[in-house]
Structure 1
Amino acid sequence: MLDQRNSTSSKPRDSKVWRKIWGLNVAPKIRNFLWKASKNINPTGENLVRRHHGRVSICQRCREEVETMEHILFFCPFAQATWKVSSFNYSPRKEGFTSFLQWWIQVFNTFVEAGSFSAIGLASYLCWHIWKPRNSFLFEGQSDDPTQVWNLALQEFLEFTGAIAEHASHGSEWRGWVAAVCRDHNGNIVDGCSCIVFANSVDVAEALAVKMACNIAWHRDWNNIIVESNNKALVERLINPNQNSRWDAQAVEASIRSIICNLSQVSCAYVHRSANVVADWVEKKLEPKLALLIGCATLHLSWKGFL
Structure 2
Amino acid sequence: MDILVNDEERNSFFSKVVWNGWYIWKECNNFVFNHLPVEPSSMLHRARVAMVEFEEVESLRVECQPRQPPQTSTATDRWGPPAPGFYKVNCDVAVKKGSLQAAAVAAVLRDVNGNLVNGLTKKMCISSPFQGKALACRLARLLAHKLNLLDVLVEGDNKAVIHLCVTETAPLWECGAILSDIKHLATQGRFYFQWRSRASNKVEH
Secondary structure of 1:249's counterpart equals helix
2:176 matched to which residue of 1?
A: 250
2:186 to 256, 260, 277: 260
Unmatched segments (≥5 aa) in structure 2 = 1-97
Secondary structure of 1:205's counterpart equals helix
CA shift at 1:203, angstroms?
Answer: 1.0
Secondary structure of 2:113's counterpart equals coil
Matches of 2:115 and 2:198, distance apart in 1? 19
Secondary structure of 1:187's counterpart equals coil
CA shift at 1:224, angstroms?
Answer: 1.2
Deviations 1:123-159 (A, max 9, x none): xxxxxxxxxxxxxxxxxxxxxxxxxxxxxxxxxxxxx
CA shift at 1:280, angstroms?
Answer: 3.6
Deviations 1:66-117 (A, max 9, x none): xxxxxxxxxxxxxxxxxxxxxxxxxxxxxxxxxxxxxxxxxxxxxxxxxxxx
**What letter corresponds to residue 109 of structure 2 in structure 1?**
C
CA shift at 1:172, angstroms?
Answer: 3.8
Alignment of 1:102-251 (within 5 A): 172-241=99-168, 243-251=169-177
2:200 matched to which residue of 1?
A: 275
| Structure that is richer in strand per residue | 2
Unmatched segments (≥5 aa) in structure 1 = 1-170, 282-307
What is the CA RMSD across the aligned residues, in angstroms? 1.4
CA shift at 1:175, angstroms?
Answer: 1.2
Matches of 2:181 and 2:150, distance apart in 1? 18
**What letter corresponds to residue 197 of structure 1 in structure 2?**
M
CA shift at 1:182, angstroms?
Answer: 0.4
**What letter corresponds to residue 255 of structure 1 in structure 2?**
D
Contact residue 175 and residue 200 of structure 1 kept, 8 A: no
Matches of 1:253 and 1:239, distance apart in 2? 9
Secondary structure of 2:122's counterpart equals strand
Matches of 1:234 and 1:240, distance apart in 2? 10
Deviations 1:28-54 (A, max 9, x none): xxxxxxxxxxxxxxxxxxxxxxxxxxx
Contact residue 226 and residue 268 of structure 1 kept, 8 A: yes
Matches of 1:189 and 1:200, distance apart in 2? 31
Larger RCO of the pair (alpha carbons < 8 Å, separation 6+)? 2
Secondary structure of 1:207's counterpart equals helix
Deviations 1:173-229 (A, max 9, x none): 211110000011111111001121110111111111111110111121101110001
Matches of 2:142 and 2:203, distance apart in 1? 18
Count matched residues.
108
Matches of 2:200 and 2:102, distance apart in 1? 26
The share of aligned pairs that are identical, in percent, is 27
Structure 1 outlier segments of 4+, above 4 Å: none
